[in-house]
Amino acid sequence: MFNKKKKEEEPIIENNQAEQEVETAQGEATNDTENATAEPVVELSVEEKLQQENAALNDKYLRLFAEFDNYKRRTQKERVELLQTAGKDVVVSMLPVLDDFERALKATENATEVSAIREGVMLVQTKLKSILSQKGLKEMESINTVFDTDIHEAITKIPAPSDDLKGKVVDELEKGYTLNDKVIRFAKVVVGA
C-alpha cells in the first residue's frame, strides 16, 4: 500500500514539471514571434536627438511668446476701456447738478431779487459738494494752520500781523482738495513771515 502512494505521487510531480516546461517553451515561442513582428528599433544619434529637443523647445517658446503677446494686448485693451469709463459714475451723479444750473440760469432771466438767486446758487453748490464728498473728495482747511509743503503751495510771504501767525497760513487763495486721503490739488496760500 505504501508503494502505491509513492507511484501515484510521482506522476503528479512529473505532470507539474511537464506543465512548467510547456509554459517555458510557449513563452520562448511568443518572445520569438514578438521579436520577429516588432519594428526594428532605430537608434538615433545624439545630434538628431538634440535637434528634436531643440525643435520641441522652439515650438514651446513660440507658443508661450504668442500667449504672452495675446495677454498683453488683452490687458491693454481692458485698461483703455477702464480709463474711458472710470469717471462714468461721477459724471452720472453730477448730471442733476448740471440740470440745477440750467434751471438757475433760466430763473435769472426774469428775476429781480438777488437774494433769491443767491439762495438758489447756494443750494446747487451744497448739492455739488455733497455729491463730491460721497465720492471721497474733501476740502482742506488751511487758514491758521502751520505751513506744510505736503499739502500747501506758498504763493507769497507777508509780514505776520502777530507773532503767533509766523510760519502759519494767513490767507488761502485757492482751496486744496484730497480724494480718498490723497492730495489731488494743493492749497495755494499766503504764509506769514
Q: What is the DSSP string of the chain?
A: -HHHHHHHHHHHHHHHHHHHHHHHHHHHHHHHHHHHHSPPPPPPPHHHHHHHHHHHHHHHHHHHHHHHHHHHHHHHHHHHHHHHHTTHHHHHHHHHHHHHHHHHHHHHHH---HHHHHHHHHHHHHHHHHHHHHTTEEEPP-TTSB--TTTEEEEEEE--SSGGGTTBEEEEEE--EEETTEEEEPEEEEEE-
Q: Identify which has the larger pLDDT, 48 or 19.
A: 48
Q: What is the mean pLDDT of residues 91-113?
A: 82
Give residue 171's pLDDT.
87
Give ∠ CA 88-94-96 in degrees, rounded to 5: 130
Angle between helices 114-134 and 88-110 (to 10 degrees): 180
Residue 106 has pLDDT above 80, yes or no: yes
Give residue 27's pLDDT.
54
Residue 152: other Cβ atoms inside 10 A: 21
Q: What is the mean pLDDT of residues 26-31?
A: 52
Residue 150 has pLDDT above 50, yes or no: yes
Q: Identify which has the larger pLDDT, 82 or 13.
A: 82
Q: What is the mean pLDDT of residues 58-84?
A: 93
Give residue 94's pLDDT.
84
Q: What is the mean pLDDT of residues 33-51?
A: 69
Q: What is the mean pLDDT of residues 120-135?
A: 88
Q: Position of cell 502505491?
A: 4
CA distance 60 to 66: 10
Give residue 151's pLDDT.
87
CATH entry, 138-193, from 3.90.245.10, 1.10.540.10, 3.40.50.620, 2.30.22.10: 2.30.22.10
What's the chain's length in residues? Answer: 193
The residues pairing with 23 across neighbouring beta strands, listed in sequence order, are none
Confidence of residue 16 (pLDDT cuts 50, 70, 90): low
Give residue 1's pLDDT.
47
